[in-house]
Structure 1
Amino acid sequence: MQVCHVQLDPLQVTQVARLDLSDFQAAIVLCDEGWVEDGDAGGGGPEGRPEGSEHATDQPGVLRLDSLVMMVQLNIRKCLADRGLPPINIICQKDPPPNAETHISRAPVTPPRARAPRSPPRA
């Protein structure tokens, strides 16, 4: 597996279209504060955020951020379809609010049970 970092504005389909997507099997899109702070591409500028907050935490700001993430996914899928390439997995991560705790728990992995061999059908 090879991982490459691509620096572009995924909200602009013209920038995504410049990528050679033929070797991509998956994409991870990271949303940063720029999406929220930039009035053109983010959460609508400072008026969309509560006083003293660096992130859109009100409902309109969160919905705007969700729509931007969806737009990025659609831009990638459009570029793949335009080139006749197969679909890929797209993982999007929004930046959590400051001081937010993230907990990841892993369930124990249990191996699948061995199945008993099937007996031949009776005549």
Structure 2
Amino acid sequence: MATFESQERRMPKINECLKANGLESLDACNELLLSKGIDCDKIIRGVQPICFDNAVWAYTLGTAIAVKRGLKNAADCAAAIGEGLEAFTIPGSVAEQRHVGLGHGNLGAMLLHEDTHCFA
């Protein structure tokens, strides 16, 4: 079962994102991804072993959004992952005000987009 830091403050936005994308729950997102051979927990903790649990679940949500939409292009997937990250920002926080989740996803998309020749 999905548990993470500040869960009670994050859930309204997460539930809104789940509903908007036709996803049932974070646990259902994880099951969907595991059925496709994608283990977000293993991937995220492999990159950053000391990450917070909410980071794992945010990437799980974003990746499930990409899979649910049938996205295949890496840049499009990165932008969708940003939507999952954004859903985990705490209402009223600086991260929410600055749309940090969407920014991370869009930056990843920009770096992965075939039209980007130089990024500096």
Highest relative contact order (Cα 8 Å, sep 6+), 1 or 2?
1
TM-score, normalising length: structure 2:
0.29
Q: Indicate the structure with greater helix content.
A: 2
